[in-house]
Amino acid sequence: MTDFLDTMAQHKHRVHARLMANKQPLLAALRQLGAKSVVITYAGSGDSGQIESLTVRDSQEQELNLDAPTVTVLQSEGIFGDDGFRERTEPRTQPLKEALESFVYDWLEDTQPGWEINDGSSGECTIDVEDARFNLDHTNYYTESSSHGYSL
């Protein structure tokens, strides 16, 4: 059990480090695009979750196209081998949209692991590009029950 807990703690540390390392390249790419704000929504339950929407706007509140821009960020890949599970992290150039989605998934894994399980959760990540401020507003869902027993 200790090995599992140690492995999970190391994984969480790597996710957080990757998250922090990717903030500046994402901000630089968004600034180069002329972005003012980013809003990314997500939802999940029943063991699956996904990004619902991703919108990037300029200072005139016009939506910007994310088809062409790319950014180089750290990405990790899990490798299962004879020696068990290993994780390899390396810089990758990818579409900006994909990098932003990965950033949110990493942030959820860092702060809300299991966000997509059971009744699930939803939320919104906002990025204020000018102020370099990232916010995550998250709502967990759960089923509550109350039981009562009576005898006469």
Report percent pLDDT > 90 for the chain.
78
* C-alpha span between 18 and 92 (Å, rounded): 12
Q: Is the pLDDT of residue 51 over 90?
A: yes
- pLDDT category of residue 8 using cuts at 50, 70 and 90: confident
Q: Residues 72-83: pLDDT tens digits?
A: 999 988 777 777
Q: Where are the domains of the chain?
A: 2-140
Return the higher-pLDDT residue of 126 and 15. 126
> What's the rounded mean pLDDT across residues 90-102?
96
Please tell me the predicted confidence (pLDDT) of residue 1.
65
Report percent pLDDT > 70 for the chain.
99
Angle (CA) 11 13 19, round 5°: 105
> What's the rounded mean pLDDT across residues 17-25?
96
Q: Is the pLDDT of residue 4 over 80?
A: no
Return the higher-pLDDT residue of 1 and 43. 43
* C-alpha span between 146 and 117 (Å, rounded): 22
Lowest-confidence range among 4-8, 31-35, 60-64, 136-140? 4-8
CB-based contacts of 121, cutoff 8 Å, min separation 6: 43, 44, 45, 49, 112, 115, 138, 139, 140, 141
Please report the sign of the dihedral spanned by the C-alpha atoms of residue 80, residue 81, residue 85, residue 86. Answer: negative
**Whole-number mean pLDDT of the chain?**
92
Q: Is the pLDDT of residue 144 over 70?
A: yes
